[in-house]
Each structure stands twice: as C-alpha cells, then as structure tokens.
Amino acid sequence: MDAIKAINGLVDSWWKFFDYCFNYNPASLVCEPFWTKLIAGFILFGALCVLVGGWMYFSFRRKYAAALRAQVERERIDEEGIREAVWNGDKAYQAHLPDAEILSRIRASVEERKREAASPPPNG
C-alpha cells in the first residue's frame, strides 16, 4: 500500500508541475526546462517519424523493383528449353493400341515365359 501511495504522490507532483507550467505561468523560469524538453521531444519524435517513413519508402521501392525484375524473368521463359528438359520416360509405356490388343500381347508374353521356364536348358 505504501508503494501505491508513493507512486500516487510522484504522479501527483508531476501533474501539478505540468498544470502550473501549462496553464498558470508558462513563461516562468521554473518551466523553462519543461518547455525545452517538450519541444526537443516533439522534434525528436518528428525526426523519428521522418526517418521511419523514409526507410519504409525506400524499402517498398526496393521490393517493388525486385518484383518488377522477377516479373521480367518470369516473362523470359524458354519454352523450348523446358520441353527439352521434361521427363519423357513415362511416354514409353503409353500405347496407341486398344486395351484388348495390349491384354492379348501381355498374355502371349506371359505364356511364352512360362514355356521357356518349363523347358529344360540345352546341354552343351
């Protein structure tokens, strides 16, 4: 409870000083450091805002320029180079034969392999 009273007393004294310098006698010598610090604070805050705004502006400009360069790179796609680099291995298994013909060829091949496996190896 004592800490709250101490903080309340400190804030109350600051508020009285602010009220005196702002409302009653702003030109007094006691208030000169208050106004100096207040003006310096506003100047620093304004300078900080200008710096942050400038940094954001140049940051956005850099990102925009990078996006434009990326767009140019995307538009320079080499279609012929892409076609040459595409995997064509799966096309070997594609046939233009009807399903019945493919099925009959598979059955004939399986029967041929069974016959080869069943026949005795030639003695040399």
With contact defined as beta carbons under 8 Å apart, do 107 and 100 qualify?
no
pLDDT score recorded for residue 94: 67
> What pLDDT is recorded for position 90?
67
Is 17 within 8 Å of 10 (Cβ atoms)? no
pLDDT digits (tens, 9 = 90+) for 94-120: 667 788 888 898 999 999 999 888 877
Q: Look up residue 27 and give its DSSP letter.
A: T
Tens digits of residue pLDDT in 50-102: 999 999 999 999 999 999 999 998 888 778 878 888 877 766 666 677 888 88
Whether pLDDT at 49 is above 90: yes
> Do 35 and 26 contact (CB within 8 A), yes or no?
yes
Cβ neighbours, 10 Å, residue 122: 5
Measured from the Cβ of residue 81, the count of other Cβ atoms closer than 10 Å reads 9
HEC letters along 51-116: HHHHHHHHHHHHHHHHHHHHHHHHHCCCHHHHHHHCCCHHHHHCCCCCHHHHHHHHHHHHHHHHHH
**What per-residue confidence (pLDDT) applies to 46?**
97
pLDDT digits (tens, 9 = 90+) for 37-46: 989 999 999 9
